[in-house]
């Protein structure tokens, strides 16, 4: 697949794919007539790495889910703290 196709599949900008090519993240990619040909297997392997680091569509979804979970935990903690404060105000 081309760099643009890989970018669409990974959910990143084409320039990001070009940077990843320069970094050697697609070890089996070849340039033919000025166009990169990136094997599907290389793109899939890179997708796993990017997802684990929070990049791409799936990575952003994972981060969003973790943030929502953290926000819910903070809201629960805030409610417990508020209840404790109200309890202490009632005693004083």
Q: Where are the domains of the chain?
A: 3-91
pLDDT in tens, 18-58: 999 999 999 999 999 999 999 999 999 998 888 776 666 66
Its sign, for the CA torsion 30, 27, 58, 13, is negative
The pTM of the full predicted model, rounded to 2 decimals, is 0.58
In angstroms, the CA 2 to CA 63 distance is: 28
Query: Is it the case that residue 92 has pLDDT exceeding 70?
Result: no
């Amino acid at each position: 697949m081309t760099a643009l196709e890989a970018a669409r599949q990974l959910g990143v900008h084409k320039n990001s794919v070009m940077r990843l090519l320069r970094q050697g993240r697609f070890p089996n990619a070849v340039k033919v007539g000025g166009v990169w040909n990136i094997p599907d297997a290389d793109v899939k392997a890179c997708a796993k790495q990017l997802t684990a680091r929070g990049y791409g569509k799936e990575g952003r979804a994972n981060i969003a889910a973790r943030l929502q979970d953290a926000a819910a935990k903070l809201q629960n903690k805030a409610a417990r703290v508020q209840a404790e404060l109200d309890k202490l105000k009632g005693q004083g």
